[in-house]
Structures are given as structure tokens and as C-alpha cells.
Amino acid sequence: MIDSPRAARWIRTLNLLLQAVLFLTLVGGLNFLARSHAWRFDLTRYRRYSLSAETLSYLRELSRPIHIVVTSDGQTDDPEVQGLLREYVYATEANPAGQVTVEYVEIYQDRRKTEKYGIEQPGIVLVLCGDKRRALTVSDLYRAENKVRKAFIGEQAVTDAILDVSNPDRKRIYFLVGHGELRPDDVDPARGLSMVRDQLRLRNYDVDTIELAGSRKIPPDAALLVSVAPQDPYTSYEQEVLRQYLGAQAGRLILFLQPGTQPGLRDLLIDDWGVLVDDDLVIDLGSDNMTEDGDLIIRAYAQHPITQTLLDYKELLRIGYARSVRPLPGRPAEAGLTVVTLAATSTTAWGEIDYRQRGIQPFTPGVDIKSLPQMEPPNRLGVAVASEKVAVRGSLPFSVPGGRIVVIGTGDMISNARITNTGSEGMFLGAVNWTVGRDTTLNVPSRPIDRFQISLSAGELARLRYTLMLALPGIAALLGLAVYWARRS
């Protein structure tokens, strides 16, 4: 027994030091074990912090590093996006050759980084791999209803983008020229497509032009052809080149055909693709269906990958002069051919045949074009149609994707002056992704978004405030006093 008070104090001090050392050793050992032999359990309801087996298998095979840049304005917060990207980083930590890294950039604070990456707007998820890049918007990562986010599909979109940029092949889009078309190298607001070109390059597409008259065939690296407002008709030779590309090569084509022009593609569209482009001008006198400067407002869309963004966020499509485009009436159903009206007018619209007369002519029954109740969509005129061929190989239990075309009955929807409209950009990019086969096809389920809302009255809010400010600190103070008096006694 130690009688000396000084010796007793030294022993107590030594005891405390030993306890501290043992505690730090325990914490350090646990951290070492956790770092070397980590186990993670996702106990959330929809496994929101777990990547699918398909995504994990792709990430294990990555041979090139991926860098993801997320831009924000410093005010909005998307926890689902941040949580998902953390999982990509964690899943590739053991793969030095194919690690995924994430960087967050506030566009108003980090001007050097915004210039470095060439992005000026918030809400962009930019996926980089070497010199290849693909941009997604945050809205691309959600499925919405009535502008309210209902499901998170970020894993589908991000994994698809990673696979795209890590692929050494780069999809090339050719714009047809030689017939007075709008060109991607033109910066003119009304006739240029330079902004579309920049948007496509941002999404990892190469953009070029091609003149069919000097080409024996379409280049084999052509993922898609785009023709915007041709003024002169395509020759028989050029039509045959297109027919061979769309048929034998299962090619892809997007056509923007403005009213008052005859591109000479009538037989190709009708015979091969079941699409009828009328020689008319869409008129809609409804006060809610046209703007003050005469633009047509489109609100009716079919359920289709091209229009999914417009449907989710209730976006309007605002277009200039338009002609009606529709599935060929009376055409018998053909195996392997699917024709869908993507966007349609209101029920008050009609296709004016005598549109070359000065002023707006009244609707003439039996002459002008009016959609019928039994036609799809009922009592509406289509302004955009998608047609797809799927080749069925005999009695085999699978089919081979064929060509795809999209025909839109207006000429300047994606010009520099109009592509800034959200609806126009969404419609065009949806058409591009669908035609080239970039629409999401990964077998990754979407995840519902749980939202919790607490409604408190003014009195309840005041009581909660006083409880947090006074009651909880008071209880802690009383406990401290009780311990103090207990030790004194």
C-alpha cells in the first residue's frame, strides 16, 4: 500500500497515460484493420449506395483513368449524384489503371477550371478520358413527372458515359451539304449550326460534312447523317446512295424539312420507311398554341426515348414554320417496321395546302389536311416522326437492329437562334442519341427518391426552437453539476 500522496499522484498520472496510449493503440489498430480489410453494408431501402453487378463488372475491366467534373452554382445540392459518384471512386480504388476520380467546380468561383474544361453552365456532369469527353446534365440523371423528380437513373447514364469515352472508337456525325442546307461551320444566327456542332463535340461526337454528289458511298465511320433544311432536291443518284446506306448498312438519318421545299425524298420515305411528308403549312389559330411572333407551340408527345426528357419536365417545343409529317395512312403493317409520331399539334391545327397565298387562308374541308379521329394521334397533326427497321432472321428467336430515321417538319429548329430553347435542344439530342443507339440500354434499375416533409405550425416551431436553444443545454448543465457535487462528496 502506498502512503505517500505524491507517489499516489504519480501512479494515477501514469495510469491515465497508459490508458490514453492503450486507447490510441486500439483506435489505430481498428483503423488499420478497417483500411486493410474493409466490409461495407448498404442498409438503405433502395440500395442507393450500391452499384449494380453489371456496372461493377465494367469498372473492373477499365484500362484507362476516368475523371468526372461536376459543375454547380454553389447553391443547389444533389445528394444522389454525390453519393453515386463516391461509389464509382470507391469501386475503382483497387484498379490503378482505371481509377475514377471526381472533381467539383463552382462556376462562379473557379473561373480557371471552367475555362480549362470549357464549361460555363452549372448542373453539368462532364466525363473525361484522355481527349474524349461526354457531358450530361444533372436532369439527365433523374426521371421526373410534372417537373418533380421521381426516380434516380444516374447509374445508367454515368456508366453509359464511362463506357462511351473509354471506348477508343469515336462516333462521327456527318451533316449533308450541297443543297443549300444549314451548315455546322456557319455562325450565322438564322442559318448557322455552330452551336449544335459545339454541343455534339461536348458529348464526344466528331462532326463533319459530306456532299453526296461526290461520294460513291457513305463513309463506314458514319454513325449518323443529318440534313437540315435542304433547298434543292436530291438527285436520283444521291437518293440511291442514301437508300443503300439506310438499308444495306442499317444507317441512321435525321431530316429537317421546311415547308415550301421539295427535297426529292418522297419515294424513299414512303416506300422504305412509311413516312409521309405533306406539302402544306401547319396553321393553328388557338391563342395558346402560337406565340406573338408566329411560332408554333407543341405540347403533345408520344412516349419514346427521343421525347422522354420533354415528357418528364413538361417542356414545350417552340418551332417556326412547319409542315405536317405523319405515318403513311392506310399502309399495311409491315413486319420489322415501326413508325411513331413523336410530336403533334393541338386539335385546332390544320395543314394549309394553299399556303402560298398572301395571309392566312381559312380551313377548306376536303382540301386542307386535318387529322382524323381514327388516326394516330387522334385529331392532331404530326410534326415529327421516327421510323425504325428491325430485321427478323428467319425462325431465330432474336432480331437484328436495322436503320433508323427521324423526320421533323421544320427547317430551323436547331439553328443558332433556336437551339437555345430547352425543348429544341432536348428534342434534337434525344433524336441523336436514339438514332446512334446511345439511348440508355443498361440493365440497371432506377431508384425511387424518398422525400420527407415536416409541417410545423408557428407555435410548434417556436417550442422546438426553445427546446433546442434552452432545454437541451440546460439538461447538459444539470448533469454536469450533478457529477461535480458527486465528486466533491
Rounded CA-CA distance 414/117 in Å is 24
Rounded CA-CA distance 84/49 in Å is 7
Rounded CA-CA distance 389/26 in Å is 66
Weakest-pLDDT range from 239-253, 385-399, 436-450: 436-450
pLDDT given for residue 275 in this prediction = 95
Other residues' Cβ atoms within 10 Å of the Cβ of residue 116: 11
Listed by start position, the domains of the chain span 53-166, 172-435
Q: pLDDT tens across 301-336, in order?
A: 999 989 988 887 788 899 999 999 999 887 777 778
pLDDT given for residue 119 in this prediction = 85
CA 331 to chain centre: 34
Average pLDDT for residues 381-392, to the nearest whole number? Answer: 88
Average pLDDT for residues 58-85, to the nearest whole number? Answer: 86
Average pLDDT for residues 86-96, to the nearest whole number? Answer: 88
User: pLDDT > 90: what percent of the chain?
Assistant: 39
pLDDT tier, 362 (very low <50, low <70, confident <90, very high otherwise): confident
pLDDT tier, 396 (very low <50, low <70, confident <90, very high otherwise): very low
pLDDT given for residue 400 in this prediction = 58
Other residues' Cβ atoms within 10 Å of the Cβ of residue 333: 8
Of 259, 307, 300, 263, the closest CA to residue 428 belongs to: 307
Average pLDDT for residues 81-107, to the nearest whole number? Answer: 89
Q: pLDDT tens across 133-167, in order?
A: 888 888 888 877 777 777 888 888 898 889 888 88
pLDDT given for residue 398 in this prediction = 46
Supply the mean pLDDT for the chain: 85
Which residue in this structure is represented by grid cell 408527345? 301
Which CATH number is correct for 172-435, 3.40.50, 2.40.128, 1.25.10, 3.30.70? 3.40.50
Rounded CA-CA distance 306/402 in Å is 17
More confident residue, 487 or 173: 173
Does position 340 have pLDDT exceeding 80, yes or no? yes
Does position 393 have pLDDT exceeding 50, yes or no? yes
Average pLDDT for residues 126-130, to the nearest whole number? Answer: 92
More confident residue, 341 or 204: 341
Other residues' Cβ atoms within 10 Å of the Cβ of residue 142: 22
- Give the containing element (helix H, strand E) for 310: helix 308-312
User: pLDDT > 70: what percent of the chain?
Assistant: 89
What is 53-166's CATH number? 3.40.30.10
Name residues whose C-beta falls within 8 Å of residue 320's C-beta, 6 or more positions apart in sequence: 294, 295, 296, 410, 411, 412, 413, 418
Does position 169 have pLDDT exceeding 80, yes or no? no
| Integer angstrom CA distances of residue 330 from 244, 371, 373, 406, 408 | 26, 13, 14, 20, 21
Return the DSSP state at 108.
Answer: T
Whether 382 and 329 have beta carbons less than 8 Å apart is answered as: no
pLDDT tier, 415 (very low <50, low <70, confident <90, very high otherwise): very high
Whether 172-435 and 53-166 are alike in CATH topology: the answer is no
Whether 283 and 352 have beta carbons less than 8 Å apart is answered as: yes
Helices (H) and strands (E) in the chain, counts: 13, 21
Does position 397 have pLDDT exceeding 50, yes or no? no
Does position 230 have pLDDT exceeding 90, yes or no? yes
Q: What is the pTM of this model?
A: 0.69
Which residue in this structure is represented by grid cell 436530291? 234
